[in-house]
Amino acid sequence: MRKNELIKEINRLKKEKRAVILAHNYQPEEIQEIADFVGDSLELSRQAAEVEADIIVFCGVHFMAETAKILAPQKKILLPDLRARCPMADMITGDDLRWMKGQHPGKKVVAYVNTTAEVKAETDVCCTSANAVKVVSSLPEAEIIFVPDRNLADYVSRNSGKKLQAWDGYCPIHEEIKPKHIERMKKKHPGAEVWAHPECRPDVLPLVDRILSTGQMIKEAPKSGAGEIIVATEVGILHRLRKENPDKKFYPAREKAICKNMKRINLKKVYRALLLERPEVIVEAGLADRAREAINQMVRLA
C-alpha cells in the first residue's frame, strides 16, 4: 500500500474501532503527523487515562504503553512493534530493586517512569523528567533510593538537596551527547541558547542554558526570546519544534542522537496493529494495581 492509502486506511480503522493514536515526541515524523496526540511521557499517561476510546495505539516504547495500560486497564493498548523497548528501563529488574531496597532498608523509592511495571510495583512514587525535582523535594526523607537513571539522579540531587542512592542506569542516546558536541555547536552558532534533557550527562548539563523535559521544550519554545536553539536530546523532537515555531531555528546538539527503538514504529506497523488488534500490551492485574499506586502518588505530589 502507498503512504496515502495507508493513512486513509488507518483513519478508517480508527473511526470503525473507536481507536486513538498517541505518539511520543521522539516518534518518526510520519507517525507524529497521523497521531491524535503527541507529547512527553507525563502528557501521554494523562491522555491514556482520560481519552474516550476503546483502543489506544501507542506509538512509543514498551514502558510507555505499559504505563498507559496501568492507567487505563479497561482499554486495549496496542504497541505496533513489541521490540520497541527502552534500554534504560531494561537496565533494572524487579529483583535488582528488591536487592537495592535490602541494601538500604526503610528508604523510600522514587522510580523514573522509564521503568517496567515490575519495577514500578516495587516503588513508592514515580516521577517523569518534567516533575522529578518536585516529586523528590516533596518527600520528607533526606535520603532516597532513585532508579534507574544515574544522570537524572545527579540532576535531581543537585536541585533538591537530597542524598539519592542511584542505580547505575542511563539512556544510551543521551549519554552519547558529550561536552565536545555542545562546545562545537556553540562555536558554530554563537548567538544560540542551548537546551538539554535532564537525562544528559552531568558534564553536559553545566554547559547549557535550560534543562527541560521534551514536553517543556515544546511549551517553552514559543515563549523564548532566543531565535536559535541548540537542542541536546533525541532528534525526533526537532520536527515539532520547527513546525510549531517557524520563526526560530533549532539545531540538534548531536545529529546521531537517534533512539532506534522509538523509530521501530512506522505507518505499516500502525496499520497492521489496528487491523489485527495486536500486539497488545497486557499487565497482570495485581502488578498493575501496585504500579498504579506509585503513579498516582506522583500525581498527588507533583
Residues making contact with ligand 13P (CB under 6 A): 25, 40-41, 114, 128-129, 171, 199, 213-214
**Which one of ligand SF4, ligand 13P, none is in contact with 25 (Cβ closer than 5 to 8 A by kind)?**
ligand 13P
Q: Which of 143, 83, 81 is nearest to 108 (CA)?
A: 143
Phi, psi dihedral angles at 134 (to 5 degrees): -65, -45
Distance in angstroms (rounded) separating the CA atoms of residues 21 and 56 = 6
Q: Which of 45, 39, 26, 44 is nearest to 294 (CA)?
A: 45
H-helix or E-strand spanning residue 67: helix 62-71
Partnered with residue 165 across adjacent β-strands are 145
Give the nearer residue to ligand SF4 in terms of CB position, either 198 or 279: 198
**Which one of ligand SF4, ligand 13P, none is in contact with 40 (Cβ closer than 5 to 8 A by kind)?**
ligand 13P
**Which one of ligand SF4, ligand 13P, none is in contact with 87 (Cβ closer than 5 to 8 A by kind)?**
ligand SF4
Give the nearer residue to ligand SF4 in terms of CB position, either 53 or 259: 259
Classified as helix, coil or strand, 190 is coil
Which residues 42-81 are close enough to bind ligand SF4 by CB under 6 A? Answer: 61
Distance in angstroms (rounded) separating the CA atoms of residues 165 and 147 = 8
The dihedral region occupied by 130, where left means phi > 0, alpha psi between -120 and 50, and beta the remainder, is alpha
Q: Which of 25, 114, 160, 297 binds ligand SF4 (CB under 6 A)?
A: 114
Count of CB atoms within 10 A of residue 150's CB?
21
* Choices 13-21, 29-37, 132-140, 165-173; region in contact with ligand SF4 by CB under 6 A: 165-173
Residue 134: all three cell numbers together: 518536585
CB of 3 to ligand 13P, least distance (A): 26
Q: Please provide the distance, in angstroms rounded to a whole number, between the alpha carbons at the two ends of the chain.
A: 45
By rule CB under 6 A, what count of residues binds ligand SF4? 13
- Contact status: 131 vs ligand SF4 (CB under 6 A): no
- Contact status: 86 vs ligand SF4 (CB under 6 A): yes
- Contact status: 213 vs ligand SF4 (CB under 6 A): no
DSSP state, 260?
T
Give the nearer residue to ligand SF4 in terms of CB position, either 91 or 229: 91
Distance in angstroms (rounded) separating the CA atoms of residues 228 and 17 = 43
**Which one of ligand 13P, ligand SF4, none is in contact with 261 (Cβ closer than 5 to 8 A by kind)?**
ligand SF4
Distance in angstroms (rounded) separating the CA atoms of residues 258 and 174 = 9
CB of 1 to ligand 13P, least distance (A): 30
Distance in angstroms (rounded) separating the CA atoms of residues 299 and 124 = 12
CB of 284 to ligand SF4, least distance (A): 23
Q: Which of 234, 264, 269, 291 binds ligand SF4 (CB under 6 A)?
A: 234
Give the nearer residue to ligand 13P in terms of CB position, either 32 or 129: 129
How many CA atoms, within 13 angstroms, populate the side-chain half-sphere of residue 168?
0
Q: Inter-axis angle of helices 62-71 and 41-50, to 10 degrees?
A: 40
Q: Which of 261, 270, 279, 297 binds ligand SF4 (CB under 6 A)?
A: 261
Give the nearer residue to ligand 13P in terms of CB position, either 143 or 255: 255
Contact residues: ligand SF4, CB under 6 A: 61, 86-88, 114, 171-173, 199, 234, 259, 261-262
